[in-house]
Amino acid sequence: MSDARLADLSRRLPDLRLLTEPGELEHYGRDWTRRWTPAPLAIALPSSIDEVQAIVCWANERQIAIVPSGGRTGLSGGAVAANGELVLSLERMNRVLDFDAVDRTLTVQPGIILQTVHEAARSHGLIYPVDFAARGSCSIGGNIATNAGGIRVIRYGNTREWIVGLKVVVGNGELLELNRGLIKNSSGYDFRQLMIGSEGTLGIVVEATLKLTDPPPPSQVMLLALPHMDALMQVFALFRARLTLQAFEFFTDHALEHVLAHGAQRAIDGDYPYYVVTEFDAVDERAQDAALAAFEHALEQGWVSDGVIAQSEAQSAALWRLREGITESLASRRPYKNDVSVRISAVPAFLHEMQALLAHEYPQIEVVWFGHIGDGNLHINVLRPDGMSEETFIAQCEHVTRLLAATLQRHGGSISAEHGIGLVKRAYLESTRSAAEIALMQGVRKVFDPNGVLNPGKLFAGG
Ligand code: MLT
Ligand code: ZN
């Protein structure tokens, strides 16, 4: 080890896996944002909580920043290491540790992939209901760090609702055991909830106890084509009143074009500006008839132009692909992403203002919208035109994001619904959180990480 600091770390932890090859630094130093040039000092792959604690102690002594790292599928730069940090990858700590049939909990290490959690829950006849398209590569530790949402929030809520215990190594290397799986625990501040969504700036999750639940009843998946934007919330209100929704997602014709070009199958002929994929409980024939009646009512009202109901699991998967495949279909274009939310009741007014703003500010730029409209959460993906430099493009997107942030502020919304603040959104945190809140957040960070070694620069500029 030519670097004295790393040689010291290796001396302290002779069994610790440390990577320093350029290809490895690049691989572990970036997330899905692909905007920053990775430049970590090294990658540490601990295999135990003891090793994580020792690394954090070493980082304090040596004043080295740590970037906790899971599946690096993040879209806000929260796991980027571009300034000589030590990336602490939890990918080797990826086991299921325990299943408790009475508590209906699964205790896992943080590097476990979400899909593996789903499979483990299913093997016990239960489900872990948080779900989204990155399920095959994101890790539970990263989900906790960002309070990940996804496509079933409308039914099950965010990650936050499903974590009943956490073990966390905080900034001074101490291990905290938070909530210990309790359902009821009125014993003061809930540090577990504070850790969830803190983006690795307060502690490193080294173990999590997840609450499981019963699988949902049989469901049906429907794709709807909508004639105009106002119809989105009209159909949502109708379907929510008449059916038990598991998901209600939307995308635009632009999003559809990309996903079709990327291999998905067209399910509705004709051109429509908006589409909805919805999944709802369909326990028996009566429930299926109710869905059909809701669809027909929407058709009569002129809120829906066309629609299909999946007749098999394969068709359901094909319909879902139209929504879930969007991110992947855009990935090579490295879109600038906004991930915003407002209260459901504010969606119609906000959508109109936002559409006018984007049309005015991005006249020559392709903007692809999709998202979890039933949660008031929209993803706005801006695509850099050929011939425009990255620098000009980012400058323009940041200008529009400032305007968008002001619009959100007027509507009481959030600049980050589910992707986190990371590096991408930190300049806009003030649009969502008051100065008093931000000052308290920084104070909390000082308490948990006095020397600022945990993911500095994420969430807040400068530390
Ligand atoms: C999604 O809803 O598909 C994810 O949040 C990913 C994305 O926004 O690209
Ligand atoms: Zn999303």
Total structural domains within the chain: 4
For residues 346 and 260, membership in a common domain is answered with no
Ligand nearest to the backbone CA of 380: 1
CA 191 to chain centre: 21
Nearest to 69 by CA among 89, 52, 92: 89
Determine the structural domain holding residue 116 and report its residue range: 96-211
Same domain, 317 and 264: yes
- Reported as type and span, the H/E element at residue 132 is none
Partners of 165 in the beta sheet? 209
CATH number at residue 286: 3.30.70.2190
The 3-state DSSP class for residue 224 equals: strand
What CATH code is carried by the domain that includes residue 139? 3.30.465.10
d(CA 429, CA 459): 8
Specify which residues 207 forms β-bridges with: 167
Measured from the Cα of 372, ligand 1's closest atom is 2
Is residue 200 a part of any domain in this protein?
A: yes
Do the beta carbons of residue 71 and residue 94 sit within 8 Å?
no
Q: Which residues line ligand 1 (CB under 6 A)?
A: 75, 132-133, 327, 339, 371, 379
462 in any annotated domain: no
Among 211, 245, 276, the domain boundary falls at 211
Q: CA-based Rg of the chain, rounded to a whole angstrom?
A: 23
Question: Is residue 175 within 8 Å of residue 53, measured between CB atoms?
Answer: yes
Tell how far the Cα of 6 is from the centroid of ligand 1, in angstroms.
37
Q: Are residues 19 and 113 in the same domain?
A: no
- Ligand with the closest atom to the CA of 327: 1
Using DSSP's 3-state secondary structure scheme, residue 39 falls into coil
| Whole-angstrom distance, CA of residue 312 vs CA of residue 315 | 5
Task: Identify whether 439 is part of a domain.
Answer: no
105 three-class SS: strand
Helix axes of 285-301 and 230-242: crossing angle, nearest 10 degrees: 150
- Residue 348 in domain: yes
113 lies in the same domain as 189: yes
At residue 26, what are phi and psi to the nearest 5 degrees? -65, -45
Q: Give the tens place of pLDDT for each residue, 275-294.
A: 999 999 999 999 999 999 99
First to last CA, the chain: 28
Question: What pLDDT is stored for residue 312 in this prediction?
Answer: 97
Per-residue confidence (pLDDT) for residue 1, from 0 to 100: 65
Asked, for residue 442, whether it belongs to a domain, the answer is no
In angstroms, the Cα distances linking 121 to 58, 84, 362 are: 37, 38, 45
Length of the chain: 463
Interval between CA 324 and ligand 2 midpoint (Å): 9
Pocket test for ligand 1, best of 34, 132, 254 (most atoms within 8 A of CB): 132
Alpha carbon separation from 119 to 164, 329, 447 (Å, rounded): 19, 26, 38
User: What is the reported pLDDT for 54?
Assistant: 98
**How far apart, in whole angstroms, are the C-alpha atoms of residue 419 and residue 436?**
23
The answer to whether position 441 is within a domain reads: no
Distance CA 162, CA 155 (A): 13
Please check whether residue 459 is in contact with residue 201, taking contact to mean a CB–CB distance below 8 angstroms: yes
Residues in the chain, pLDDT under 70: 1
Which uninterrupted H or E stretch holds 336?
A: strand 336-341
Report which DSSP code applies to 283: -
